[in-house]
Structure 1
Amino acid sequence: MTLSLACCRSTTSSTLSLWVLALALPLPALAEFRPMGDGALSGVTGQAGVTIELETKLSIDRFSWIDEGSLNVNGLRLSGQNDTVLDNMKLTIDIAGDGEVLEHGFSEIARRANAGLLAPGNPDVADALAKYSVAGSFGKQFNSGDLVMHLGATDYGDPSSLDDYLRAVDFELAADSVTSTGTGGTATLFSNILLQGYIGPTDLVIRNGGSSTRTLANGNEVSGSELQLDTHFEITNGSLNWDAADVILLFNFAAVGIEGLQIHNRRGDDTLGHFGMASATAKLSRGTSAASGKEGLSIHEVEFRADIDMPVFKVGGTSIGSVQFTDFAITNSTMMVYGR
């Protein structure tokens, strides 16, 4: 089984270019870099983390998973909306001390509300203020050695505007097609995929659980050291042709075309704390299946919450009206991934 990338092109900010420059240094220059002693290291620990300002534009001609046949994503592109540069992103990276409170989720909203810049009469703002106010700081409390990465915006605009905050980072994800190739030929699963929208606060946390383990409700044993993903986003305009494919545990929508797709969380009974954005969380770690005894990658405590609007829903090229999902939720989901 092979994973391959073909004809990958990208342009990145000057921050990322520094890494290329470092790698290009001749050996005599690299020889000047020496390990830091204990005394020097003692002056580094306890600092306030690292901030990286990001901008990028990525394109991949073909991404392939090759086994007996191949699954190919063709003409993949990630950019800002309308094929501009994906920018105005700021990544903060911290290694937490014991009980340290670091930025997480909508903690910036809580900070603004506490400063009187946002009205706590807004239920989402009040929820953020209650959830992210911790010991006089704003964020989430972590344990010693946890690696915390928070993606937000470099410039959020007017600090008293929720709209500026929620639409600070726009993106566009597109792909020409997703195809499957085998001895019988090539089949197109999806085509003309376009998703435009906004990226909300996104967090990646590597929990330092050492060698500890815990048991999930289904009996699977997982490592206490795990990667935790928490993100909010909104799709404001999307389209695709669903040519021939199954979505695991859901349905087959072969010969369906979708236009004007929107994914958000603005209606129903499940909106509190999401500021109108869809949300997804998951935890990943090493695990052992209780059913098979196999070791592999455990993806657990997966949750997805959104409202989904498909105003133009075509079957066989003809519109049959619109489709809406309200309070669409995937919860209590666990997967164990391992080789055959």
Structure 2
Amino acid sequence: MTQPTITALLRRPVCATLSIAPFLLAASGSALAEFRPLDDSRLSDVTGQAGVTIEMAAKVEVGQLRWQDEGSVDVNGIRLSGQNNTMLDNMKLTLDVAGDGEVLNYGFSELAGQNISDPEAVNVLAGYAVNGSYGKQFNDGDLVMHLGAIDYGDPTNLTDFLHAVDFELAIDSIKNTGSQGSSTMFSDILLQGYLGPTDLVIRNDNSTRTLSNGDVVSGSELQLESHFEITNGHLNWDKADLILIFNLAAVSIDGLEIHNRRGNDTAGHLGMASVKASLSNGTGGISGTDGLSVHDVEFRADVDMPVFRVGSNSIGGVYFTDFAITDTNMMVYGH
């Protein structure tokens, strides 16, 4: 059956409106006076207040991602899935546009509904308590996206909660190419682990603020915070600079783990590594150049590399405790 065209669909209501126009014009002024605009309180009764929930399952594969300048950097054979190349599933994304002062799920606040008696979890929940509920308080118009699990398993088992969403990230190689040829920087990257609560917030704020380094950034910013754990990782570090100082070649790492279970910087993270950052437009305090501001960057973790090889021989294990990147701001722009 032929579908009606958009033009045909538009014509039908127009004709219907014209046909009843005389009746509308004949309506008394007193009847029309009964129409009143909805104020905010009445409008809130009409519009949906519960937000939107999306249950997700996916497997993502990208043959090549290339950044082309004078030369190029290629990321080849990207795959994001569940562990052992299964579906990345059991994920639930909630989207809400906050009202003024509204408290919404954030971070580990969903533990409040799991009846977990673990003492550390109880302490963590105390940090999310707001006005008799659990979560984080937001401003009017903030868009809040919270990623958690559909099924957290045994509600009394903290491990079930933390391991509800498993993932695997694989990359065949990362290469750079220029006039002198190409070289492989990293290869055979495989990271397996668990994705904890992840939050993405777009703040509704037209103000600006000045960071400690003098950069001026917009208050309308994208804020990201995520918890995760790497339980098994491998990579070959074929050629790359470490912190722009040490050049490493022919290094491979096996049994990589990233978590936050050791040391003095574990509070609030339930053993998972964490990362957060804010992004907005900004102006460099020194250069005066407009660009993308990446600010309030924070990373906290313990990093275990039990098998660290240089060439074909292991030099033993390398372990970082209370590895933290804080108070970091960057202004990104073209040149």
Which bin holds the TM-score, normalised by the shorter protein? 0.7 to 0.9
Mapping of residues 208-247 of structure 1, within 5 Å: 208-210=204-206, 212-247=207-242
By how many angstroms is 1:317 displaced? Answer: 1.8
Note if 1:153 corresponds to 2:130: no
- Equivalent residue, structure 2, for 1:139: 135
Mapping of residues 190-201 of structure 1, within 5 Å: 190-201=186-197
Q: Deviations over 1:142-182 (max 9, x none)?
A: 00000000000011111111011000000000010000011
- Equivalent residue, structure 2, for 1:51: 53
CA distance in 1, matches of 2:309, 2:131: 53
Mapping of residues 118-129 of structure 1, within 5 Å: 118-119=116-117, 122-123=119-120, 125-129=121-125
Kept in 2: contact 1:50–1:92 (CA 8 A): yes
By how many angstroms is 1:42 displaced? Answer: 6.4
- What SS does the aligned partner of 2:127 have? helix
CA distance in 2, matches of 1:334, 1:251: 23
By how many angstroms is 1:252 displaced? Answer: 3.3
> Which of 102, 105, 119 is the aligned partner of 1:103?
105
Note if 1:335 corresponds to 2:333: no
CA distance in 2, matches of 1:276, 1:239: 21
Q: Give the TM-score, by structure 2 length.
A: 0.87
By how many angstroms is 1:28 displaced? Answer: 3.4
Q: Give the TM-score, by structure 1 length.
A: 0.85
Q: Deviations over 1:240-293 (max 9, x none)?
A: 000111244564332210000000000100111111100001010000001100
- Equivalent residue, structure 2, for 1:6: none
CA distance in 1, matches of 2:4, 2:281: 38
Kept in 2: contact 1:305–1:328 (CA 8 A): yes
- What SS does the aligned partner of 1:225 have? coil
- What SS does the aligned partner of 2:153 have? coil
- Equivalent residue, structure 2, for 1:179: 175
- Equivalent residue, structure 2, for 1:28: 5
Kept in 2: contact 1:111–1:129 (CA 8 A): no
Q: How many residues in Structure 1 have an aligned counterpart in Structure 2?
A: 306
Change (3 A) 1:322 1:51: same
Structure number with larger C-alpha Rg: 2
Structure 1, unaligned runs of 5 or more: 1-25
Q: Deviations over 1:83-138 (max 9, x none)?
A: 001000000000000000000000012343xxxx2226x13x13322111111111
- Equivalent residue, structure 1, for 2:21: none
RMSD: 2.2
- Equivalent residue, structure 2, for 1:169: 165
> Which of 256, 281, 305 is the aligned partner of 1:310?
305
- Equivalent residue, structure 2, for 1:88: 90
Note if 1:290 corresponds to 2:288: no
Change (3 A) 1:127 1:68: same
CA distance in 1, matches of 2:46, 2:212: 41
CA distance in 2, matches of 1:143, 1:282: 19
